[in-house]
Chains A and B, each alone.
Chain A
Amino acid sequence: MLKFLIRRISVMIFTALVLTFVVFFLTNLPPNLEKLARSEGSVRMTDDAVASWIVENGHGGPLLGRYAEWLGLAPGWTLTDEKGVTRGRCIDVYAEAGSAPTFCGILQGNWGISTFAKEPVGDVLGRSLGATGWLMFWVMMVMVPASLVIGILSGMREGARTDRVLSVFSIASTATPEYVSGVILLAVFASVNAGLSPLLRDWGLLSDRTLFYGTATSAMDKITFWNFALPVMTIALYGIGYISRMTRASMTEVMTQQYIRTARLKGVRFRDVVLRHALRNALIAPFTVIMLQFPWLLNGVVITELLFNYKGFGWTLVQAAGNNDIDLLLGCSVVAVLVVLITQLISDIGYVFLNPRIRLA
C-alpha cells in the first residue's frame, strides 16, 4: 500500500508541476505582460517603455527561471536602479531590502499580490475558497444522496416504470448545463415579472417581491434557504443527472450478475438483495465518478457564482482572468489543479478500499 501511495503521489506531484508550468507559460505570454505593463504603468506607454517595464519588474529573463522563482526554487529577482533603490520579487512588499528572504515563491507561502484586489493573493484565495467551500458542501449534501437514490431505484428493476420515469429525469438533467438550469430557475422562482413570484403575489401568499433571492451575495454573510437554494440546485442538478446515470448503469449491471441470482434463489428478500448484495458492488463505480466530477463541478461553480453574483472562488477566477491579474490567476490555477489531483488520488485509494478484489502488493 505504501509503495502504491508513494508512486501515486510522485506521479501527482509531477503532474502538478507540469500543469502549473503550462499555466505559468500561458499567463505569462508576452501579450499578457504587455497588457499588464500598460495597466500598471500607463496606457500611453511607448513600446520601448513597455519592454523596459517588463524587464524592470522581473518579467524578463527565461521562462523556466521565472517559473522557478515563482515556485520558490530559485532566488527571487532583485534589481538596483540608478537611484540605488533595490527592488525585487521578495523585497517590495514583504520585507525591507536588507532583511528580505532570498526565496519567495508559492512553496514559501508567497503567492504574490493581486493587482485587481490590491491584496495578497493568499488572502483573496482564502476568503473566496471559504465561500465556495460552503457552496460545495451544500451541493454535495444535495447531490450525492439524491443521485445515489435515483440511480439505485431506477437500476434495481431495469425497464420498470420507476426506471423509465427516473431515467428520463436524469437524462434531461444531464442535458441541462448550469447556465441553462440557472437561467430557468431564476426565471421561475426569482423573476419579478415571470414564473411563480407574480402568481404567488397575486394570491397573497408572498409579501416580498420574489420567492427566492435572485442573487446569493447576501449568503456571503449569512446563508439562508432563500438565498442559497437556487445556486445549490443549479450546480447539483447537472451532477445529479450524471451521477445517477452512472449509478443506474452500475446497478443494472450488478443486478444481472450471477451472484444476485444466487442471492435471490437463496431466498433473500428483494430489499435485502438490493441493500446487502447489490449496493456495495454497485457503488464502486459511482464513487470514482463522484470524485472525478470535481473538475466539472468547478465549471458549475464558476458559472453559478457568476450568475448569482456570489463572490467565491469561481467569481474570483473570472475576475482574475478578465482583469489580467496574473498572480491571482496563477493562484487560482494552482488551487484548481490541486483540487482535481487530490480528488483523483482519493478516488484511486477509495476504489481500492471499496473493491476487495484488488490486492495491493
Chain B
Amino acid sequence: MTDTPWDPSMPILEIDQLSISFFTRMREIPAVMDFSCKVMPGEAMGLVGESGCGKSTVALGVMRDLGKNGRITGGSIRFKGRELTTMTEEQLRQLRGSEIAMIYQEPMASLNPAMKIGAQLIEVPMIHQGMGRAEAMALARQIVEDVRLPDPDRILQAFPHQLSGGQQQRIVIAMALMSKPALLILDEPTTALDVTVEAGIVDLVKDLGRKYGTSMLFISHNLGLILDVCDRLCVMYSGEAVETGNVAQVFDKMRHPYTQALFRSIPLPTAHKTSRPLVAIPGNFPLPHERPNGCNFGPRCDYFAEGRCDQADVRMSALPEDDRHASRCLRWSEIDWDAPLAKVVTKEKAAIGEVVLKMEDLKKYYSVSSGSFGGGDEKVVKANETLTFEARAGETLAIVGESGCGKSTFAKVLMGLETATSGSIRLFDENVQSTPIQQRNTDTVSSVQMVFQNPFDTLNPSMTVGRQIIRALEIFKQGSSDAERHARMLELMDLVKLPRAFADRMPRQLSGGQKQRVGIARAFAGGAKVVVADEPVSALDVSVQAAVTDLLMDIQRENGTTLLFISHDLSIVRYLSDRVMVMYLGHVVEMGTTDQVFQPPYHPYTEALLSAVPIADTRVIRKRIVLEGDIPSAMNPPPGCPFQTRCRWKDQVPNGLCDREMPPVRQLQGAHQIKCHLSDEILAGMEPVIKLAGE
C-alpha cells in the first residue's frame, strides 16, 4: 500500500479490513477480524461493545502498541493517508503524542507517580515541537486552565496522588491535548469515575473536541455515553464490527439483531419490571477460539436461519438509503425490525408484606489515624449519620449514592461485620445493632445474606462451585446428612438456572454472570429473608446484567424476599426498585417511592445525579446539570449541609443557612422525605430533569 497525499476532505483515520491476533504458545487467538471504519476530521466515532469484543484492541492497533504477543495480521490503517501498519518505530514515535493521543480508563495508573504533573505535561511539546522548557511550561499552564482545573500553578507542581480521580483524568486529557493532536483515542475514559464526575469529563471532552477540531475515537461499553459524545458509532461483537452508522440511525433504526438485543437488555426509562421487563440475550459470549461458523451472533440470535447464517463468514453490507450505515447481517432486509417483542412475559408484582427490617437513627463512626506511619491525629470518619428507614417483606429498596456515601458501611453494619456506634437495627423484632456476627444465632445469620459486586472475587478460586454452596448449607445447619445437602445444592443450582454439571467446576471455568449466579445461590442457601445486593450487576456486561437482575427478582417474587439493592446506576434502580433512598456523604438526602424520587421535587443532589446518568435513548431530553468539583472526603466533610459545596441551588437559601446548619429531614407528600433547606415554593417549582420527546 502506498501513502497518498492527504487533504482535510479525506478521512483522518481509515481502517480497512483490519485483523489483529494474539499469539500464545498454544494457538493464535484472533481478537479483531475484518474491521473497517472511517473517521472524518472533527468527527467523533464511538466504538461500543461488551468486554472481550475487541474494541480496545482496535485502539491499541491504531497506536501500534499491541505488546509482544499481538500482531496485525491483515488489513490497513491509514492516518491522514499514511499507512500505519508498515511504519518504523521511529516514525510511529513521532506520530504518537503529537498527532494521535490516547486517554485510558484508570487516570491514576496513567500518570507517573514519581513525576510532577508539570514535568509530565511539558514533555510532550518538548519532544515533538522541540519547545523550550519555559515555553512548554507556559503552554502547560494554559492547557491546564483549558481543562477547567482550579489553581493551575499549584497543580503543575503537584504529584499525581495529590489530586482527586476527576482532576487526574483532566490532567490525562490535558496531556493528550498538549500538542493539539488530530486524533484522540479515548478508551473508557470515565468508567473508573463517579457519575457526577463523569458528566463533567464528558462535557469537557465534547467542548475541547469542538474547540480544537480534534477527531475522536471514543470507546465505551455504555450506549448512553456514546449517544452523548459521538456523531457516529460502530457496534462490535466478538471481534467484528456488526453495525456501523451515524448515531441517530443506529439508535432508532438498528439493522442488526445484536444491536437490537443490546437495546432491549438495557434498562431505558421506558422499561418496567412488571409490564415491560428487560429481555436478556440468551447464551454466552463465544470465546475467541470457540467462535461458531458463519455469523458469530448466530447461536444467540432470535432470527437465526439454519443453513444460511451458519455457513460462510458474513460480510458487512451497506444499507442503501442511509448515510454510511452498514450491517453484518444476511437477513437485515427480511426482518421486521419494528415488530413488537414476541414473547413479552408480564410478571405479577410481588405482594409487599410486613416490616422485617427497621433502622432508627443508626450512626457509624470510624476513627482512623491519618498519616502513613500511625503518627498524626486520630480523625473520626462519619460513615453513616442518622439512618432511619424500614423495609418490608417482598420489597425492593434501592440505596443509591456515589463512592464515599456510606452505602457499603451500612451493609457491613446490617450484616454484623461491624457494630453500630449508636441507634437501633430491628431485624424480625430482634435488636441486632450491637450484636456482631459471631454472636448472632444461625437463623439470624442465614436469613440476612449478601450478594457481592465483583464476580471475579465473590467465589473462592480454589474450591469447586458445589463445595462452596454445600459449605453454606453446612454452616446454616441445612440438611442432616452429606447426601441431603448435596441434593439441596443441586436444587439451588436449578434455582439460579445453572446446569447441575457446573457443581464440579472451579470458579475460573465460569463466566462472570455464571459466577454471580453461584453467589446468589450461596446467599439463598439458608432461605434468606433479607438480601443485601451490593452492586450485583455493575461489573457485568449489559446483556448479562438483565439476566442476573431478572433472576434476582424472580427469586424475590417466589420467596417474598426483601431486597436491599445498593447501586450507583439510576437506570437499573428505576427499573427494579419499589422505593429509593439516596445517600450522600453518610446522609440520607432523599427517600421515597421510585416515582417520588424520580419526579420533582428533587433534592438538589438527586437532581444532579439524574441528569448525569447517560441514557441510551434518542427520545430522552435531559437537562444538563454539571456539578462543580469533586465529592468531598468523608474524613473531612464540609460544615452545614454535606452537599453545599457543589449545590447549584445554594443561593436560593437565605442567610447562608446551608453553610452553617445541617438541614432537617422534611416530610413531603406521602412518605417522601428530603434533607434540604430549600423552601417549599422552590421545591414545587422544580422541573423534571428527564423528559421523553413529545410528552
State the A residues within 8 Å of B (CB). Answer: 3-4, 7-8, 159, 257-259, 261-269, 276-277, 280-281, 354-361
- Interface pair B113/A357, CB less than 8 Å apart: yes
| Other-chain contact of A360, B94, B106, B159, B375 (Cβ < 8 Å) | B375
With A265-B65, A268-B93 already in contact, 15 other A-B pairs whose C-beta atoms are closer than 8 Å: A3-B376, A7-B373, A7-B375, A262-B110, A263-B112, A264-B65, A265-B96, A266-B123, A269-B93, A281-B113, A354-B114, A356-B161, A357-B159, A361-B372, A361-B373
- Point out the residues of chain B lying under 8 angstroms from A356, CB to CB: 113-114, 159, 161
Docked pose: A246 CA to B68 CA in angstroms: 23
Which residues between 89 and 124 of chain B lie within 8 Å of chain A, taking CB atoms? 93-98, 101-102, 104, 106, 109-115, 123-124
Q: Does B405 sit within 8 A of A, measured CB to CB?
A: no
In angstroms, how far is the closest chain B Cβ from the Cβ of A185?
38
- Interface pair B127/A266, CB less than 8 Å apart: yes
- Interface pair B124/A360, CB less than 8 Å apart: no
Chain A interface SS verdict (over half): helix
Docked pose: A261 CA to B187 CA in angstroms: 13
Nearest A residue (CB) for B161: A357
| Other-chain contact of B68, A159, A269, A355, A360 (Cβ < 8 Å) | A159
- Interface pair A266/B109, CB less than 8 Å apart: no
Interface string of B363-407 (1 = CB under 8 A from A): 000000011111111000000000000000000000000000000
19 A–B contact pairs at CB < 8 A?
A7-B373, A8-B373, A259-B109, A259-B113, A262-B102, A262-B110, A265-B101, A265-B102, A266-B96, A266-B97, A266-B175, A267-B96, A267-B124, A277-B115, A281-B112, A355-B114, A356-B161, A358-B372, A361-B375
Q: Does B247 sit within 8 A of A, measured CB to CB?
A: no
Docked pose: A265 CA to B187 CA in angstroms: 13
Which residues between 237 and 288 of chain B lie within 8 Å of chain A, taking CB atoms? none
| Other-chain contact of B375, A4, A258, A263 (Cβ < 8 Å) | A4
- Point out the residues of chain B lying under 8 angstroms from A262, CB to CB: 102, 104, 110-112, 172, 175
Nearest B residue (CB) for A354: B114
| Other-chain contact of B376, A264, A354, A361 (Cβ < 8 Å) | A361
- Interface pair A265/B63, CB less than 8 Å apart: yes
- Point out the residues of chain A lying under 8 angstroms from B375, CB to CB: 3-4, 7, 360-361
State the B residues within 8 Å of A (CB). Answer: 63, 65, 68, 93-98, 101-102, 104, 106, 109-115, 123-124, 127-128, 159, 161, 172, 175, 370-377
Which one of A7, A258, A259, A356 has the highest number of Cβ atoms from chain B below 10 Å of its Cβ? A259
- Point out the residues of chain B lying under 8 angstroms from A7, CB to CB: 373-375
Nearest A residue (CB) for B64: A265
- Interface pair A360/B112, CB less than 8 Å apart: no
Docked pose: A263 CA to B98 CA in angstroms: 12
- Point out the residues of chain A lying under 8 angstroms from B372, CB to CB: 358-361
| Other-chain contact of A277, B112, B161, B376 (Cβ < 8 Å) | B112
- Point out the residues of chain A lying under 8 angstroms from B114, CB to CB: 280-281, 354-356
- Interface pair A268/B65, CB less than 8 Å apart: no
Q: Given A263-B112, A267-B95: A4 and B127 within 8 A (CB)? A: no
- Interface pair B106/A258, CB less than 8 Å apart: yes
| Other-chain contact of B110, A258, A358, A359 (Cβ < 8 Å) | A258
Q: Given A259-B110, A281-B112: A268 and B123 within 8 A (CB)? A: yes
In angstroms, how far is the closest chain B Cβ from the Cβ of A109?
33
- Point out the residues of chain A lying under 8 angstroms from B112, CB to CB: 259, 262-263, 277, 281
Q: Given A266-B175, A281-B113: A360 and B96 within 8 A (CB)? A: no
In angstroms, how far is the closest chain A Cβ from the Cβ of B219?
15
Which one of A8, A263, A267, A359 has the highest number of Cβ atoms from chain B below 10 Å of its Cβ? A267
Docked pose: A263 CA to B111 CA in angstroms: 9
Nearest A residue (CB) for B93: A267
- Point out the residues of chain A lying under 8 angstroms from B93, CB to CB: 267-269
Which one of A4, A265, A358 has the highest number of Cβ atoms from chain B below 10 Å of its Cβ? A265
In angstroms, how far is the closest chain A Cβ from the Cβ of B545?
27
Docked pose: A340 CA to B145 CA in angstroms: 50
- Interface pair A267/B94, CB less than 8 Å apart: yes
Docked pose: A257 CA to B111 CA in angstroms: 10
- Point out the residues of chain A lying under 8 angstroms from B65, CB to CB: 261, 264-265
| Other-chain contact of A267, B97, B109, B376 (Cβ < 8 Å) | B97
Which one of B98, B123, B377 has the highest number of Cβ atoms from chain A below 10 Å of its Cβ? B123
Docked pose: A361 CA to B109 CA in angstroms: 24
Q: Given A4-B373, A361-B373: A268 and B104 within 8 A (CB)? A: no
- Interface pair B159/A267, CB less than 8 Å apart: no
Docked pose: A266 CA to B109 CA in angstroms: 15
Docked pose: A259 CA to B127 CA in angstroms: 17
In angstroms, how far is the closest chain A Cβ from the Cβ of B117?
12
Nearest A residue (CB) for B100: A265
Which one of B110, B113, B114 has the highest number of Cβ atoms from chain A below 10 Å of its Cβ? B114
In angstroms, how far is the closest chain B Cβ from the Cβ of A334?
27
In angstroms, how far is the closest chain A Cβ from the Cβ of B375?
4
In angstroms, how far is the closest chain A Cβ from the Cβ of B102?
5
Docked pose: A72 CA to B295 CA in angstroms: 88
| Other-chain contact of A258, B68, B104, B370, B377 (Cβ < 8 Å) | B104
Docked pose: A358 CA to B115 CA in angstroms: 14
In angstroms, how far is the closest chain B Cβ from the Cβ of A80?
52
Docked pose: A13 CA to B304 CA in angstroms: 77
- Interface pair A267/B127, CB less than 8 Å apart: yes
In angstroms, how far is the closest chain B Cβ from the Cβ of A253?
13
Q: Given A258-B106, A259-B111, A262-B111: A360 and B128 within 8 A (CB)? A: no
| Other-chain contact of B97, A3, A265, A358 (Cβ < 8 Å) | A265
- Interface pair B370/A361, CB less than 8 Å apart: yes
In angstroms, how far is the closest chain B Cβ from the Cβ of A10?
12
- Point out the residues of chain A lying under 8 angstroms from B374, CB to CB: 7
Docked pose: A358 CA to B159 CA in angstroms: 11
Which one of B124, B372, B377 has the highest number of Cβ atoms from chain A below 10 Å of its Cβ? B372
In angstroms, how far is the closest chain A Cβ from the Cβ of B383?
21
Nearest B residue (CB) for A4: B373
- Point out the residues of chain A lying under 8 angstroms from B63, CB to CB: 265
Q: Given A7-B374, A259-B113, A361-B371: A267 and B98 within 8 A (CB)? A: yes
In angstroms, how far is the closest chain B Cβ from the Cβ of A290?
18
Nearest A residue (CB) for B99: A267
- Point out the residues of chain A lying under 8 angstroms from B123, CB to CB: 263, 266, 268, 276
Which one of A261, A263, A266, A280 has the highest number of Cβ atoms from chain B below 10 Å of its Cβ? A266
- Point out the residues of chain B lying under 8 angstroms from A357, CB to CB: 113, 159, 161
- Point out the residues of chain B lying under 8 angstroms from A159, CB to CB: 68
- Point out the residues of chain B lying under 8 angstroms from A267, CB to CB: 93-98, 124, 127-128
In angstroms, how far is the closest chain A Cβ from the Cβ of B66?
11
- Point out the residues of chain A lying under 8 angstroms from B377, CB to CB: 361
Closest 7 CB pairs of A and B: A361-B371, A361-B376, A267-B97, A266-B97, A258-B109, A3-B375, A267-B96
Nearest B residue (CB) for A282: B114
- Point out the residues of chain A lying under 8 angstroms from B376, CB to CB: 3, 361
In angstroms, how far is the closest chain A Cβ from the Cβ of B84?
13
In angstroms, how far is the closest chain A Cβ from the Cβ of B82?
15
In angstroms, how far is the closest chain A Cβ from the Cβ of B380?
16
Nearest A residue (CB) for B103: A262
Docked pose: A281 CA to B106 CA in angstroms: 18
Docked pose: A201 CA to B58 CA in angstroms: 66
- Point out the residues of chain B lying under 8 angstroms from A257, CB to CB: 109
Nearest B residue (CB) for A158: B68
- Point out the residues of chain B lying under 8 angstroms from A268, CB to CB: 93, 97, 123, 127
- Point out the residues of chain B lying under 8 angstroms from A277, CB to CB: 112, 115
- Point out the residues of chain A lying under 8 angstroms from B104, CB to CB: 258, 261-262
- Point out the residues of chain B lying under 8 angstroms from A261, CB to CB: 65, 104, 110
Docked pose: A159 CA to B67 CA in angstroms: 12
- Point out the residues of chain A lying under 8 angstroms from B102, CB to CB: 262, 265
Docked pose: A223 CA to B115 CA in angstroms: 43
Nearest A residue (CB) for B119: A276
Docked pose: A261 CA to B56 CA in angstroms: 14
Nearest A residue (CB) for B159: A356
Docked pose: A264 CA to B370 CA in angstroms: 36
Nearest B residue (CB) for A359: B372
